[in-house]
Structure 1
Amino acid sequence: MRYLTYRPANNVKRTIAYLIDTVPIQMGLYLVSHAYFGVSPIIDRTSPPAVQEAALQARLLIGLGTVGIWIIYCTLAELSPMQGTYGKVAMGIRVRPVQGTKLTIGQVLGRNAAKILSFAPCCLGFYFAFFTNGNRAWHDSLSGTAVSDHR
């Protein structure tokens, strides 16, 4: 049996860290999309079709923009000495290699590119962390990384 050489981060901490990181991005994109499209992305079904179309485009901008900005932000933050985003630092967790002592640029780039695979099938890759030894999501397993408690 293989024993873990790190203490896996609690999945609740990982989820809260994700929210700390993405909610400000979503709020900023909400304001940008509201200014650009001139409608709220949150619209009821009784609105005219043109307004519904603009709201749909705004929601698409917010969704795809959040993922894109978040992946770039995570890549830069994980390459920093903090080894994680502000959300991870606030929750006392960090990204680390499963083997070795320092994250490589390849691991960080691979981890964050693989997040697209974790998102693709209804976010299954993220939920995978709740059921694996070591609480590793698909993108962690593919890149040889893990999220561990730092405190």
Structure 2
Amino acid sequence: MVPYGGFWWRVLAYFIDAILLQIALSIVTGFLGLGVGFNAALMGGNEDLIMGPMVAASLLISFVAQWLYFALLESSKMQATVGKLAIGLIVTDLNGQRISFGRATGRYFAKILSGLILLIGYIMVAFTLRKQGLHDMIASTLVYKTRDPREVAEGADVFA
């Protein structure tokens, strides 16, 4: 049976994803002229009028980019983000099958709840039988320690 993706493996995968996302978002927001300090210096006038909309635009771009990054990649044929691929983790439904974009979106938004309750939703991964966080339970997903989704779909007895 393929093992579940444990807490520390998932933390490491998230750090890889966070670094990649930060680099990409820095490039995009810089290219769009949303670099807060740079634009304020160029304006030379009343920075308060421009800072609010710039920060709001940066946050919106960041939020949408993160949602699409996680939802599109986890529902793709790879079944994993770049960080999960690097570590060797995949995301499946409870039957070991690829998840839909809708389920991946629900999982992403459920992660907000996992974080809001003092990260307890994430810490649950270390203590639950199938290594599920609150977001996994809400979205009915599992994370496996494998690079090949066929191992889970073909030969695993998921409920053993």
Please give the per-residue CA displacement for 1:24-79, whole angstroms capped at 9, x wherever unaligned: 3224445647963217xxxxxxxxxx9xxx7xx96xx57x7655422220100012
Partner residue in 1 for 2:117: 121
How high is the TM-score relative to the length of structure 1? 0.70
Partner residue in 2 for 1:9: 5
The count of aligned residue pairs is 135
For the 8 Å contact 2:5–2:131, the answer to whether it is kept is yes
Q: Which runs of 5+ in 2 are unaligned?
A: 39-46, 148-160
Cα pair distance change 1:108/1:29, threshold 3 Å:
closer
Structure 1 or 2, whichever has the larger Rg, is 2
Partner residue in 1 for 2:35: 36
Q: Aligned-residue CA RMSD in angstroms?
A: 3.2
Partner residue in 1 for 2:97: 101
Cα pair distance change 1:111/1:6, threshold 3 Å:
farther
Whole-Å separation in 2 of the counterparts to 1:71 and 1:129: 21
Structure 2 matches for 1:19-34, cutoff 5 A?
19-29=15-25, 32=29
Q: Which runs of 5+ in 1 are unaligned?
A: 40-49
Partner residue in 1 for 2:140: 144
Q: Secondary structure at the match of 2:143?
A: strand
For the 8 Å contact 1:9–1:148, the answer to whether it is kept is yes
CA shift at 1:123, angstroms?
2.4
How high is the TM-score relative to the length of structure 2? 0.67
The answer as to 2:127 corresponding to 1:131 is yes
Q: Secondary structure at the match of 1:146?
A: strand
Q: How much identity, in percent, do the aligned residues show?
A: 29
